[in-house]
Each structure stands twice: as C-alpha cells, then as structure tokens.
Amino acid sequence: MVQAGILNVKGENNRYVFQGVHILFDGIRDRPWKASETRKNEMVFIGRNLNETQLKEEFCKCLV
C-alpha cells in the first residue's frame, strides 16, 4: 500500500506532510498554513482490496 497526505495538527501553525510505502513511513513538519487555505486533513491510500468503509471508521476513532 502507498499512502500520502497533509495533516492539520491541533496547536500547530505548520502543515504536517507524510508519505509511506508498505511498512516504511515518514513525515515532516512543512510550511505554515496560508491564510487563504482551509486547514484540513487530506490522506490518500493506494492499494489492492482496501476497505474504504473500514478505513474511514478506524480513522474517525482517532479524532479528538
């Protein structure tokens, strides 16, 4: 599976970007959010036989 995204971390003024392949994963603090940007989380997963409903449910459990 391949994953990548941009995260809005509470209390941070910078974006957090991540990417990964299989079990390798890396993320870094990125540039500050622009005033014109909507601060949101965007994640992309590419792989075979991914269960979209299950992925959404599991990520929703992580929300605070």
Which CATH number does the domain housing residue 27 bear? 3.30.1220.10
Blockwise average pLDDT, block size 10, the chain, 64 residues: 95 97 96 97 94 92 82
Query: Residues near 36 by Cβ (< 8 Å), separated by ≥ 6?
Result: none
Residue 33: give the domain boundaries: 2-60
Q: What is the DSSP letter of 60?
A: H
Number of domains in the chain: 1
Q: What is the pLDDT of residue 59?
A: 86
Please tell me the distance from the alpha carbon of residue 52 to that of residue 18, in angstroms, as a whole number. Answer: 20
